Amino acid sequence: MVGLGALKLLLRLIEKLGMLPFVPYLVLLGATALIVG
C-alpha cells in the first residue's frame, strides 16, 4: 500500500507536468495495479 504522502507527491508532479487530463487514466491504472498486484 502506497502512503498518502507519495500519492500527494505524484499529484503535484502531474500538475507540474500539465498532465491533469490524464489523471483518470492514471487512477484506472493504479486501481488495476492494486487488483492485479
pTM over 0.75: no
> Residue 1 has what pLDDT?
62
Give the pLDDT score at 32: 92
User: What DSSP character marks residue 29?
Assistant: H
Question: Model confidence over 1-37: pLDDT tens digits?
Answer: 668 888 888 889 888 988 888 888 888 988 898 899 7
**H/E run at residue 28:** helix 23-36
Please give the Cα distance from 19 to 37 (Å, whole number).
25
Please state the domain extents for the chain.
Answer: 4-36
